[in-house]
Amino acid sequence: MSHDAATKKYAQNAASAIKDEILQKALNKIQSGLGKATALSYQNLDEGPDLRLAAHDIREKTINNLDVVLTRLAAKIRENGGRVYFARTGEQAVEYCLKIARQHHVKQVVKGKSMVTEEIRLNPAFEARGIEVNETDLGEYIIQLAGEKPSHIIAPAAHKTRQQVGRLFERKLGVPYTEDPPELTRIARKALREKFLTADMGISGCNLACAQTGHITVVSNEGNIRMATTLPKVHVAIMGMERVVPNLEDHDILFRLLSRGAAAQKLGGCVSYIGGPAGPEFPDGPEEFHLVILDNGRSRILADPKFREILCCIRCSACLNVCPVYGKIGGHAYDATYCGPIGAVLTPLMEGMNQAKDLCLGESLCGACQQACSVNIDLPRMLLELRYRLAYGDDQWETQPVSVAEKTIHQAWAFLAGHPALYRAFLRTFALGQKIFPTSRGMITKMPGPGAGWTRSRDIQPLSQTPFRKRFKKLNAKKAHG
């Protein structure tokens, strides 16, 4: 897609999302409920909300030593009989998973919710080879049946009403229509139990690994991930290479913050620590365990000191729940694996700054995301940094300086600002000239030429007839006299 087409699509997606009443209601519910509850849950931490800062330090230390941390994790898992595969690209990761599937003649896969498998487009690759893939998180299951994409990291079907889900189940599962959430949940429970019991392979992501003990941990409130990682004969877990901490005591801090950031919970409902296959002496559990550690563009981010901080992210999704932009346009408008503030920073870095530039330009820089972030990531700083690279060009990220016209305007402005007399003359002329623009309630409502972009969706304050300089002088004079 060309850049202009991408911009157009982003704007169109956003516009239709804003008009979608169902979506607006759902977004409102998420943000007013979860957003507030999460903030409160940080306050209620035993150590107080500053634990977020300690967590940030741990994450930073981990990322800065990722080579030794991952080496230890891999060694430990191999010691426990697990296999570890390091994948440079998403394709390599998918290829590896397919290879295991072939070895075991896998016909059917059950999956735990995992964003990284969305990132590497695992499902379509499996389906193309005739392997049935079943999402087992209720939200993901709904999305999969509907043939859509998740709109929120942890509440993927938040944009659907119970009536829509009821009709979907009626159509796809051949059950009588109901719009009762407990009844709908029961229907999915039954359908998925069959899948769990017949699947030959379980695939999961990884919320947070602990290198020292050699375990990945996966969390779900539904218990579906426990099912998917216990019942099939083979379990493959895929983790973004940054999703790890060195020690158990680090895991404690990060894990508690993850639970709070994600769902305002003290601890996720069901947590599995997995460090290897169940040996021959065990009566159940997968007999084979594979861990795929994925780069897929992350090392490029690691190499840029200004963006490295984004690898501290633990994908709790708390930033989505407070972001005013996400709160209006929803997850789909971002048209990327990761949405909201985290997506606005991550997507340009992973999929190309030029292609995804609108995502970072679209955010408001209000700073709510950093305050909500379970590990206090300075997302606004990185949004600005992205804009800087886009404006001034950066070979590393293949961006070119923006248009000559814009640059000339900025240069002219700089020149004016450096010459007070000229500057004053310019302002005076403009203050007079602006009278030709239509106004309403003291605001300019329409401007021509390049100014039209601004006034299309908002008004602009006219220049004051008496400049501040003059008023300030007057004030000072008054003070001196009085």
Partner 1 sequence: MQTNTTETQFIKTLRTALGIGQESAGARAAKIFTDPKDPSPEQAAIVKTIKSRRDKDHMALLHHLSREAVPLNLNVIPVKDKAQVSKAIANLVKETGPEWGAKKSVVQWDHPLVNALDLKTALKDQNVPVHTAAFDTTGMDDLTRSKARDRVRRQMIDSYIGVTSADFCLADTATLVMKSRPKEARAVSLLPSIHVAVIGKEQMLTNLKELYALLKYDPETREAELLPHHMTLISGPSKTADIELVMVHGAHGPRKLYLYVITG
Interacting residues with ligand SF4 (CB under 6 A): 261, 313-319, 342, 372-375, 377, 379
Determine if 202 is a binding residue for partner 1 (CB under 8 A).
no
Q: Residues 6 or more apart from 395 whose CB is under 8 A from it?
A: none
Interacting partner of 373 out of ligand SF4, partner 1, none (Cβ under 5 to 8 A depending on kind)? ligand SF4
Q: How far is the CB of 98 from partner 1 (least distance, A)?
A: 16
The site for partner 1, by CB under 8 A, has a size of 99
Q: Which of 260, 270, 257 is nearest to 112 (CA)?
A: 270
Q: How many CB atoms lie within 10 A of CB 358?
A: 23
Specify the amino acid at residue 417: A
The residue (of 66 and 115) whose beta carbon lies closer to partner 1 is 66
Interacting partner of 18 out of ligand SF4, partner 1, none (Cβ under 5 to 8 A depending on kind)? none
**Which helix H or strand E contains 439, and what residues bound it?**
strand 439-440
Interacting partner of 282 out of partner 1, ligand SF4, none (Cβ under 5 to 8 A depending on kind)? partner 1
Site track for partner 1 across 41-80, x = CB under 8 A? -----x--------------xx-xxxxxxxxx-x-----x
Instruction: Spell out where 107-172 has E strands.
Output: 108-111, 132-135
Q: How far is the CB of 445 from partner 1 (least distance, A)?
A: 39
Q: How far is the CB of 209 from ligand SF4 (least distance, A)?
A: 16
Taking CB under 8 A as the binding criterion, the range among 156-164, 316-324, 453-461, 464-472 that sits at the site for partner 1 is: 156-164
The residue (of 165 and 318) whose beta carbon lies closer to partner 1 is 165
**CB-based contact 342:178 (threshold 8 Å):** no
CA dihedral 62, 346, 315, 157 (to 10 degrees): -170
The residue (of 41 and 317) whose beta carbon lies closer to ligand SF4 is 317
Q: Which of 328, 438, 312 is nearest to 376 (CA)?
A: 312
Whole-number Å distance between alpha carbons of 253 and 230: 26
Interacting partner of 255 out of ligand SF4, partner 1, none (Cβ under 5 to 8 A depending on kind)? partner 1
Determine how β-strand 108-111 pairs with β-strand 132-135: parallel
Determine if 198 is a binding residue for partner 1 (CB under 8 A).
no
Site track for partner 1 across 86-115, x = CB under 8 A? xxx---------------------------
Q: How far is the CB of 40 from ligand SF4 (least distance, A)?
A: 16
CA distance to 73, 213, 288, 291, per residue, from 78 (Å): 9, 12, 12, 10
Tokens 């008496």 belong to residue: 466
CA dihedral 367, 369, 370, 373 (to 10 degrees): 170
The residue (of 275 and 380) whose beta carbon lies closer to partner 1 is 275
Whole-number Å distance between alpha carbons of 327 and 341: 11
Interacting partner of 10 out of ligand SF4, partner 1, none (Cβ under 5 to 8 A depending on kind)? none
**CB-based contact 277:286 (threshold 8 Å):** yes
Q: How far is the CB of 86 from ligand SF4 (least distance, A)?
A: 23
The residue (of 16 and 265) whose beta carbon lies closer to partner 1 is 265
* Secondary structure of residue 127 in the 3-state scheme: helix
Site track for partner 1 across 114-153, x = CB under 8 A? ----------------------xxxx--x-----------
**Which helix H or strand E contains 323, and what residues bound it?**
none
The residue (of 164 and 364) whose beta carbon lies closer to ligand SF4 is 364
Residues 212-251 that bind partner 1 (CB under 8 A): 212-213, 215, 221-224, 226-227, 230-231, 241, 246-249, 251
Interacting partner of 260 out of partner 1, ligand SF4, none (Cβ under 5 to 8 A depending on kind)? none
Name residue 87's beta-bridge partners. 294
Interacting partner of 276 out of ligand SF4, partner 1, none (Cβ under 5 to 8 A depending on kind)? partner 1
Whole-number Å distance between alpha carbons of 114 and 123: 11
The residue (of 278 and 377) whose beta carbon lies closer to ligand SF4 is 377
Radius of gyration of the chain (CA): 26
Q: How many CA atoms lie within 13 A of 425 on its CB side?
A: 5
Interacting partner of 66 out of ligand SF4, partner 1, none (Cβ under 5 to 8 A depending on kind)? partner 1
Q: Is 421 buried (19+), middle (13-18) or exposed (0-12) by CB count in 10 A? A: exposed
